[in-house]
A and B are shown apart, each in its own frame.
Chain A
Amino acid sequence: MNVIMKTTLYGSLFDIKRYAIHDGPGIRVTIFMRGCPLQCWWCHNPEGIRSLSDDCNADGEFLNKQNSNSRYGAKNISSRMSVDEVLREIEKETLFFDESGGGVTFSGGEPLVQSEFLDAMLRESKQREIHTAIDTTGYASQEILEQVMHNVDLFLYDLKLMDNDMHLKYTGVSNCCILNNLKMLADQGKNIAIRFPLIPGITDTDDNLSAMVNYLSCLRKISTFHILPFHNTAQHKYKRLDMEDKTGEIAPPTLDQIESVKLRLEDAGLSVHIGG
C-alpha cells in the first residue's frame, strides 16, 4: 500500500535547490513547496504563495512559460512530482549529507499546506536515514503538526509579530495557532530554530522584541535564534508574476540596526545568529 501511495501521491513544487547552505545544518537540498496561507508584505518567495492551480493547467504544466523548468538542461524538476520522484532527487545528494551532516529541508510557501505529501516525504526520508527540517510559518492545525512532527529533526520556525493585530495586518492571518503550535512543539522537546525576519519599522519595534523575548523565555527548548535581515531582492519576482509588490516600501536594515537587535536578544539569553 505504501508503494502505491508513493507513486500516486503528488506534490506541487516550485524549486529544488541543491547546495543549500543556509537552511539548516550541513549541505542540504531544499524542496520549495507551493501554497501559503500567509501573505507577508516582505515575502521573498511570492511564487510560492500561489497554489499550483493558479499557474498551471490540469496537467501541471506552467501557463507562464518563463516560469517553466524544462526536464532537461534546466533544473530537474517539473511542477508536479510524485513522492518517488522527489525522493530520487533528494537521494542524489546523500553523500553530501553524510559528509556534512546535512539533509533535506522542506520550505515554501508553507510546506504544511500539502500535509499529506509532506508527511509521506518526511517518513520516507527518515526511513533512508536522511536528516529532515521544515521551514514553516507554523500556521497549520495542531493535528497536522502532531502527525508530521515525529519525522522532523529540526523545525525552522518563523516568528514574526507577537501582536495579533499587527500579525493580521502584515501577514493576513492571526498568530494564535502559530504561537500555540510553537509551544506544543517546545513542550514535546522538539528541536526548534527560530527564524525572525527583521523588517525595519515592523518587526524590530521595542514592543515586538520584548514580547518575543518574554514568550520564548517560557518555552522549554529553543536551540537557536536566526535573524533574517530584510533584503530588497524579490522585486523582480513580483513584477514577473504580476503580483502586488509591497516590498518596495520597506528599507533594508542597516548593519547597526541588525547588530542592536542581536545584542538585545542575546541579553535575553538567546543564541543568536545572523542569517539562515
Chain B
Amino acid sequence: MNSRIKTLRENSLQAIPSISAERAALVTETYKSHAAQKASVAVRRALVFKNLMEKKQIVILDGELIVGERGPSPKATPTYPEICIHSRQDLEILDSREKTPYAVDQPTCQQYEDDIIPFWQGKSIRERIFEEMTDEWINAYQAGMFTEFQEQRTPGHTVLGDKIYKKGFLDIKEDIQASLQKLDFFTDPQALDKQEELYAMDIAADALITFAERHADQLQQLAQHETDAERQTELEEMARICSRIPANKPETFWEALQYYWFVHVGVITELNPWDSFNPGRLDQHLYPFYKKDLEEGRLTEEKARELLQAFWIKFNNHPAPPKVGVTAEESGTYTDFALINLGGVKEDGLDGVNDLTYIILDVIQEMRLLQPSSMVQLSKKNPDRYIKRAIRIIKTGFGQPSVFNTDAIVQELVRQGKSVQDARNGGASGCVESGAFGKEAYILTGYFNIPKVLEITLNNGFDPYTKKQIGLTTGDPASFKTFDDLYAAFEQQLRHFIDIKIRGNNVIERIYAKYMPVPFLSLLIDDCIANSLDYHSGGARYNTSYIQGVGLGSITDALASIKLHVYDNKKLTMDVLLEHLKNNFENDGELRKTFLNQTPKFGNDDDYADDLTRRVFETYYNAIDGRPNTRGGQHRINLLPTTVHVYFGKVMGALPDGRKAGEPLSEGISPVQGADRNGPTSVVKSAAKIDHIRTGGTLLNQKFTPQLLEDDNGVTKLAQLIRTYFRMDGHHIQFNVVNADLLRQAQQEPEKHRDLIVRVAGYSDYFVDLSEQLQNEIILRTEHVGF
C-alpha cells in the first residue's frame, strides 16, 4: 500500500463514529414543503432524495481517488427520523454507551430537540409498527421470542447485479419512459399508483446524476487550485469521471468503481436499509473493465490495486446507522454487512475465478479492514489455488474472508424458484443469506429464539422472564408420557409463535409498501421499473421473507438431555428436572455435570443428538417455508445469529443441556460453545445433517489456532476439510483463527472453550486439555507468531 492509501486508511480507522443531523434536517425540510405535502407518497420520497442529493455537503478528502460520503465527514452518520426517531435520551445513550458509541455534540442535540423531534414524534415507522402489532405479538417480542428487523431499519438486504455496468442512468430513465408508455389506464386499476412510482423513480435518477455533477464541479475547482501537477491531473480525471457517470454507462475500471460508489451512497442516504448496499460479485463485474483497460494501456495492475484500496476505504468510512434497544442487542456492531463476493461460477456455469479475483484477495489482506466484509464463493469448479489463497488470508486471523458453497447456493435459489442463470449470478450477502443479486428483495424479518419455545413448552405456555402467559397451554410437562408427547407440544408452541411472527411480518411489509417506498433503490433492482412497482411493494423479480432461526445447537442438546435422562434412562422425572432448571442447578452441580458431560451433544457426529437437530430443523422449516408474504413471494428459513444469541440467552432460564440462566445460546448452526469434542470433521458432519439446500443460508463458525495453519500442509488440509463440508451441501463456514487473548480467556474459563483446538508439536490437541505450563507456552508462541 502506498503512502496515500496508508494515510486514507489511517484516517478512516482513526475517525470516530458520530451522529450528523444534516440528513434529518434536510428530510424534515422536504416533508414540511408544499410540494412534498401535495405529492403522492412515492413522489414525496423521491423529493426527499432529491433534496438530499442537491443539498447535502460534498466531501472530497485529500488524496482521495473515489469520492462520495453519506455524511459531512468520514464516519459522520446520519439519522433516519422517518423510520426511527431518537429521543434526547437515545442520543445521550448513543453518545455514552460502552459498546458501539456514536459521538453526539451539543448543536446536534439542540437541532434534534428544536426541529427534528417535534416534527417526527408520533410519525415514525417504528411507532406505527408498534401501534399496529397485536398484544400477543408485543408479548412475544418483549419475552425475546423473536426480534423485529424493520423497527429501526428498512428492508434492504439486497445486492446489486450487473445493471450499472451495462446502463447509465440516462438509459434507466429511458426504461422508465418505456414503462410509462405501457401504462394501461383502461384496464389496470393500479395504473395511477404505477405512474406515481415511475415519476418518483425518474426524479430519483436525476437526483443521483445531480449529486455526481456537484462532485464534478467541486473536483474541477480543486484541480484549478491544485499546485501538485500529478494530483491536478488526477482531480481532472476524477471530475471527468463524475460528469460522465452515472449518467452514462461506465467505460473504464475507475468509472465503474466510482459509479458503484455513488449508487451505494444513494441507497444508504435514501434510507437505512439493512446490510447497507453491496456490489456483490465484484470480480465478475469489474473484470471486463480491468482487462480492457490493461489491453488499451489505460491501467496498470498497480493502479487497479490502488483504486480498489481507495474503494475499500470508502466502505470503512460508513459505519452502520445507530441502533438502539433490541436492535442494538441483536446486531451490536458498527459493521454494516456489505459483503464482497468473489469467485464462484459465471452465468454460463463456468469457473468464475479470474486474475482480478486474486488481486482483490491481495487487497483484502493488505487493507485488513472490517468493512467491507469479504467472502469467497467456492464451487467444485474453482481451483484449489483459489481456496488456498483465501485460507492464507483467513489464517492471519481477522475472520475474513468467510467461505461459501456456490454449488449449494445455486441449488437453494433454484429450489426457491429462481432461474438457473439468476441463481448463478447470485451469492450470499449480509451474514450468509442467499440471494439472486440484482433481482431479489430478500428481507430478513427477525430472529426466532427456538430454545425459548422449549422453555415456554416446559412452562405450559408461561414465560418465566416476563411472567406472562404468552404461549398455548399445551399441558403440564409432567403429564407427557413419552418424548414424542413433549415434542408434539413443542411443535405446537413453535407454530403458534411463527404464526404470530408471520402475521406481524405481513402487516409491517404493507406499512413499508404504503408509507415508505424507495424509488431510488427500485431503479437498481430488476424488475421494479418493468413492473412499475416499488421494491417495497413486490416490484423485484423475486420476493422472499426470511425468519432466521437461532439456537439449533442449544435446542438439540436440551432435547437430547431430556430424551436421554427423563425418557430413555429415567434417571430423573420431569418434575425434578424442572425444579433444577428453576433453581438454575444451584443445588445439584453433579446433575449439571451429567448434563454437560454425559449427554449426547450436537457437533460430535452422534446420531442420537443429530437426529433431534434434524427433527427441529424439519419442524422449523415446515412452520415457515412457502407461506406467502404480501409481496407475491414466500417466507423461507435461514439459520444465523449475528449477536442475538447473547440477547436470546439473557431472556432465558437454565436449559436441560446444563446451560445456566442468562448464558448465551449457541450461534448459527454451530455446536453449543465447547460441546463439540471430536474435532472439526465431526462438527461439519453434524452440521451437514440438516438439509442446507432447503434454507436460504446457514452459518457455521469454527475456531482454529494459527499453529494449525502455519504450514502448507495445514492450509491444504483445511481446504480439503472445507471441500468435504461442501460436498455434503454445507452452505458456509468461517474460521476464527484465535489469538493469545482468547487463549488466556480459555485458561480462565475452560468450560466455555472446550472446542478450542491447538497445534502442539507435530500433533494437535484441545487447548483446555493441556497442562497450564503448556498452555502458557502456546500462548507465548501464539504471540510470537504475531498475527
Contacts and interface: CB of A to CB of B under 8 A. Distances in A.
Interface of A: 17-22, 26-27, 44, 70-76, 92-93, 95-96, 98-100, 102, 228-229, 231, 233, 235-236, 239, 275-276
B82 to A, nearest CB: 51
B598 interface: yes
Nearest to B680: A19
Nearest to B717: A21
Interface in B597-612: 597-601, 604-606, 608
A18 B597 CA distance: 19
A231 B594 CA distance: 35
A231 B760 contact: yes
A19 B598 CA distance: 23
Given A76-B606, A233-B761, A19 B770 contact: no
B139 to A, nearest CB: 36
B605 A92 contact: yes
A87 B714 CA distance: 26
B600 to A, nearest CB: 5
Contacts of B714: 21
B93 interface: no
Given A18-B682, A19-B764, A21-B717, A72 B728 contact: no
A71 to B, nearest CB: 8
B679 interface: yes
B11 interface: no
Given A73-B600, A76-B604, A100-B717, A22 B677 contact: no
Given A22-B763, A73-B601, 13 more contacts: A17-B763, A18-B678, A18-B682, A19-B679, A19-B764, A21-B764, A26-B717, A26-B720, A73-B598, A73-B677, A228-B762, A236-B773, A275-B762
Interface in B665-683: 675, 677-682
B681 A73 contact: no
Given A21-B717, A22-B763, A99-B727, A72 B599 contact: yes
CB-based closest 9 A-B pairs: A236-B771, A231-B761, A100-B720, A21-B717, A18-B679, A19-B679, A99-B724, A18-B681, A72-B600
A235 B760 CA distance: 13
Contacts of A96: 681, 720-721, 724
Contacts of A44: 763
B770 A236 contact: yes
A211 B694 CA distance: 63
B407 to A, nearest CB: 14
Contact of A99 (B608, B680, B713, B723): B723
Contacts of B478: none
B596 interface: yes
Contact of B597 (A17, A21, A74): A74
Nearest to A19: B679
A191 to B, nearest CB: 19
A74 B7 CA distance: 51
18 contacts: A18-B678, A18-B682, A19-B679, A19-B717, A19-B721, A19-B757, A22-B713, A22-B763, A26-B717, A27-B720, A72-B608, A74-B597, A76-B604, A99-B724, A100-B717, A233-B761, A236-B770, A236-B774
B679 A17 contact: yes
Interface centre among B600, B724, B762 (most CB of A within 10 A): B762
A260 B728 CA distance: 45
A100 B773 contact: no
A34 B774 CA distance: 24
B383 to A, nearest CB: 15
Interface of B: 564, 596-601, 604-606, 608, 675, 677-682, 685, 711, 713-714, 717, 720-721, 723-724, 727-728, 757, 760-764, 770-771, 773-774
Nearest to A275: B762
Contact of B774 (A95, A228, A233): A233
Interface centre among B596, B677, B717 (most CB of A within 10 A): B717
Nearest to B775: A236
Contacts of B762: 22, 228-229, 231, 275-276
A25 B606 CA distance: 26
B6 to A, nearest CB: 33
B730 to A, nearest CB: 11
A72 B601 contact: yes
B727 A95 contact: yes
Contacts of A233: 760-761, 774
A228 B598 CA distance: 36
A73 B675 contact: yes
Nearest to A195: B762
A218 B685 CA distance: 46
Given A22-B763, A76-B678, A93-B681, A27 B717 contact: yes
A51 to B, nearest CB: 22
A231 B764 CA distance: 13
Contact of A276 (B596, B597, B679, B763): B763
Contacts of A73: 596-601, 604, 675, 677
Contacts of B604: 73, 76
Contact of A70 (B597, B678, B774): B597
A34 B755 CA distance: 25
B773 A235 contact: yes
Contacts of A21: 713-714, 717, 764
A75 B761 contact: no
Contacts of A228: 762
Nearest to A276: B762
Contacts of B761: 229, 231, 233
A22 B564 CA distance: 37
A75 B720 contact: no
Nearest to A30: B763
Contacts of A100: 717, 720-721, 724
A26 B711 CA distance: 14
Nearest to B724: A99
A236 B606 CA distance: 30
Contacts of A99: 720, 723-724, 727
A50 B404 CA distance: 46
A236 B760 CA distance: 13
A95 B724 CA distance: 6
B753 to A, nearest CB: 15
Nearest to A237: B771
Contacts of B675: 73
A19 B720 contact: no
Contacts of B564: 72
B716 to A, nearest CB: 8
A44 B724 CA distance: 31
A245 to B, nearest CB: 12
A95 B684 CA distance: 11
Contacts of B682: 18, 92
Interface centre among A18, A72, A92, A275 (most CB of B within 10 A): A72
